Structure 1
Amino acid sequence: MLERSEKENCNQTVAGNLGVCICTRNRPDELERCLLSVLACGKEVNEIIVSDDSTDTRTAEMIRLKFPVAKYVTGPKKGLGANRNCAIDSASSMYLIFLDDDSEIDPGFVAAVDELVAKDKLNLQNTMVTGNQIEDGVSIKPHDQSFLGFQNVFYQPGEELNTVNIMATVFPRSMLSKVRFDDLLVYGYDEVDICARCRHYGAVVKYCDKANVYHYPSVVNRDYYSPYTESSRIYVTFKRYYMVDNKRLKSWIFLFIAMAHLLLSRIKHEGFCGIKKSFLIGVKALGYIRENAKSSQCYREYKSFFKNL
């Protein structure tokens, strides 16, 4: 049973208690701009952790020379899910945010979150506070999943949120010490997965319309990450229906329809060459499902944690 300290019970401000986790891979230039934006937040940020999955030493050298204040750790080189967990293990702050290495945090982000916390009297120990992801001047709010798992469903005013913008979300570290990111996920839909599992055990999501993170999508790593996105969507959505929502029939119906949709979509856009790609994506998704089934008993461990929040 996890018990909260008196400090954790009383401290409901993010400022001065925020750890910024940045997972990176072969993007030292983008990472440098990200780190400069974090330093501009001043004392509102308590610590900076850079977990590095790079295949060369450029990032490590850049951190050593320009950002000695950051805690540099070598990542597990297994993908983004495992790298996020590596950053969590290296953090000591009460609250954590996961910036992409090609993003920049607004200097007023933390103040905006604390303003919402005070106004709504939020319990930060079981709350994920999420803001906006801004790309090309467009503010992107969290979107819910469709039946097939695509994040393209707009929330209605006042509707309870099921998802977050991962790079604009403050998490309580105590929550993430129990509900971990999925190590199987190399890239894509990890924010949907962890949010669904946290909410299943009592956590809530609150939206802060003044909290902004700016995203400048880098072309670096896109070829590396792109084969995993669709597999991740199918796997994460199946896992949500099967294990989190406990709707077994729905999960199998979803899997059949998702595989058929994937095949037809690939044929439509790529011709018969899409058949091979859809097969490989499907095999990878099924591999994820099979590997996860071996450790599904871990879900039982979460219940006692959230009952004590």
Structure 2
Amino acid sequence: MSSYPPYVITHIHLDKEPQLPALTYQGQGNYVVFWWKNVALGHSFIEPNQVVSSAQWPNVILKAIEPAVARYAAKAGVDTAQWQVWVTQEEVSRWSEWLGTLLKPWAPDTIQPQVPVSVIICTRNRAASLQLCIEALNRMTCQPAEIIVVDNAPPDDSTKKVAESFANVRYVMEPSVGLSYARNAGVRNSTSDIVAFTDDDVLVHPEWVYRVWETFLDKSVFAMTGLIIAAELDTEAQQIFEKHWSFNRGYQDIAYDQAYFKRVESAGPPVWEIGAGANTAFRKEVFNRVGLFDERLGPGAAGCNDDSEMWFRVLVGGCTIQYNPRAVVYHTHRREVKDLKRQIFTYMSGFTTAALIQQKHHPRAGYAKQLYWHIPKYYGSLLRAGFPRFTFRNRTLWAELKGIVNGLKYYYEHRNQPSQSHNQ
């Protein structure tokens, strides 16, 4: 048997099936995601060969969903003590009724059929994945005003053929190599006041675009990110990513506002924790304030972090970014370790370049100390802990270190080349 057997992903809708489901226990692990209707509340890793009994199941539920439920209850001013007792004592009807009442404002029975949002998919040479992504968008119960596919420096016409096979998709070709160029082309070609980005290796939840639009009903919000759940955890590489590099930012609303920024400014704001570009959106007017995506960042340039550098500028510009866990997409992680290593290399390269760009534009940020002091200490401890076998989490260590070096090199080679999209 493999040292890293797959995890079977099971989505449990507590409004329909609060009892212990028929999980798979044939050497596999189980990754269970708990929902109330279309509101995701938490997840639990049940490790390979770990069997959960019916008596243990209420505690699994409680541990997974308690933080999110507590946050929803705090918003509503509702006491949470009794429902926890009802769960542990398996008084299902009582806690189900309580949870349903609590979450009703966030789980409407009906939603409107269309919202004024432009959905942008930036892609290159992945026609099969793009096809599935668009099909999922078209299955949503609420549709966007438009879907734009930006084909980045295409080597052939495969992407164009897929895009043009859908009557509701607009095709845009961006000749300059780099994700930031593609994103900027999408923004420039969009017609809605809200622009949402997703990736070609993502499947969206049926309510995704509605939840994106809903976030911007708060006029103080100028950008948002949402919950990204793993679509599969079949391989070691996918498990490494989900357990150590996950896009999942949790099940509770988070406002990244000026109070947040002031708290973290001097230490180097960890803007990469805000979300991921596979599930992000912006009020279009924010680009007039802070500029478009920096073309020195993103795949095809320094690496990644064009999204987090944009979030940094949004915060510096005095605007709020909202994390909305009800805006859900499912991401397919890289299946092979070699592909994961390449991905992590680009992450760390982009992270390093972005941190130095952010430091240059906002000298009060503490990224230089982080890069030249804290990160070497951190990786020194990882190298000592991983030596000599460097298994699982530590399999990507050398790719990470090479990425950091590459990011430093890239920054110093391009530091005097301002982005055409950067508002000075």
Give yes or no for TM over 0.5.
Answer: yes
Shift of the alpha carbon at 1:101?
Answer: 0.3
How many Å separate the matches in 2 of 1:224 and 1:86? 26
- Could you say which residue in structure 1 is the equivalent of 2:42? none
Q: Is the CA contact (8 Å cut-off) linking 1:17 and 1:93 kept in structure 2?
A: yes
Q: Is the CA contact (8 Å cut-off) linking 1:266 and 1:278 kept in structure 2?
A: no
How many Å separate the matches in 2 of 1:110 and 1:80? 22
Evaluate the alpha carbon distance shift between residue 33 and residue 152 of structure 1 in structure 2; reply closer, same or farther with a 3 A threshold.
Answer: closer
Shift of the alpha carbon at 1:30?
Answer: 0.8
How many Å separate the matches in 2 of 1:218 and 1:284? 22
- Could you say which residue in structure 2 is the equivalent of 1:216? 332
Secondary structure in 2 aligned to 1:233?
helix
How many Å separate the matches in 2 of 1:20 and 1:92? 10
Q: Is the CA contact (8 Å cut-off) linking 1:231 and 1:284 kept in structure 2?
A: yes
> Do residues 172 (structure 1) and 283 (structure 2) align?
yes
1:42-61 equivalences under 5 Å are 44-53=143-152, 54-61=154-161
Q: Is the CA contact (8 Å cut-off) linking 1:164 and 1:195 kept in structure 2?
A: no
Q: Is the CA contact (8 Å cut-off) linking 2:228 and 2:248 kept in structure 1?
A: no
Aligned residue pairs total 271
How many Å separate the matches in 1 of 2:209 and 2:173? 27
Q: Is the CA contact (8 Å cut-off) linking 1:18 and 1:93 kept in structure 2?
A: yes
How many Å separate the matches in 1 of 2:150 and 2:387? 37
Secondary structure in 2 aligned to 1:194?
helix
Q: Which one has more relative contact order, counting CA pairs under 8 Å at least 6 apart?
A: 1
Larger Rg: 2
Evaluate the alpha carbon distance shift between residue 41 and residue 48 of structure 1 in structure 2; reply closer, same or farther with a 3 A threshold.
Answer: same
How many Å separate the matches in 2 of 1:96 and 1:30? 21
- 168, 183, 200: which one pairs with 1:101? 200
- 312, 317, 323: which one pairs with 1:201? 317
How many Å separate the matches in 1 of 2:387 and 2:197? 34
Shift of the alpha carbon at 1:80?
Answer: 1.7
Shift of the alpha carbon at 1:106?
Answer: 1.5
> Do residues 35 (structure 1) and 134 (structure 2) align?
yes
Shift of the alpha carbon at 1:275?
Answer: 11
Q: Is the CA contact (8 Å cut-off) linking 1:130 and 1:169 kept in structure 2?
A: yes
Shift of the alpha carbon at 1:82?
Answer: 2.1
- 295, 299, 304: which one pairs with 1:188? 304
Evaluate the alpha carbon distance shift between residue 253 and residue 38 of structure 1 in structure 2; reply closer, same or farther with a 3 A threshold.
Answer: same
How many Å separate the matches in 2 of 1:224 and 1:170? 26
- 21, 26, 34: which one pairs with 2:120? 21
How many Å separate the matches in 2 of 1:16 and 1:89? 19
Evaluate the alpha carbon distance shift between residue 153 and residue 58 of structure 1 in structure 2; reply closer, same or farther with a 3 A threshold.
Answer: closer
Deviation sequence 1:228-256 (CA, Å, 0-9, x none): 22111112223334433624xx4333332
- Could you say which residue in structure 2 is the equivalent of 1:71? 170
Identify unmatched segments of 5+ residues in structure 2.
1-111, 234-244, 257-270, 390-395
Shift of the alpha carbon at 1:33?
Answer: 0.8
Shift of the alpha carbon at 1:188?
Answer: 2.1
- 360, 367, 382: which one pairs with 1:251? 367
How many Å separate the matches in 2 of 1:39 and 1:153? 24
- 221, 226, 236: which one pairs with 1:131? 226
Query: What is the one-letter code of the residue matched to 1:240?
Result: Q
More helix by proportion, 1 or 2?
1
Give the aligned CA root-mean-square deviation in angstroms. Answer: 4.0
> Do residues 230 (structure 1) and 348 (structure 2) align?
yes
How many Å separate the matches in 2 of 1:160 and 1:152? 17
Indicate the larger mover: 23-32 or 181-190: 181-190
Shift of the alpha carbon at 1:212?
Answer: 0.7
Query: What is the one-letter code of the residue matched to 1:235?
Result: T
Identity %: 20
How many Å separate the matches in 2 of 1:155 and 1:241? 28
Identify unmatched segments of 5+ residues in structure 1.
1-12, 139-149, 303-309
Secondary structure in 1 aligned to 2:423?
helix
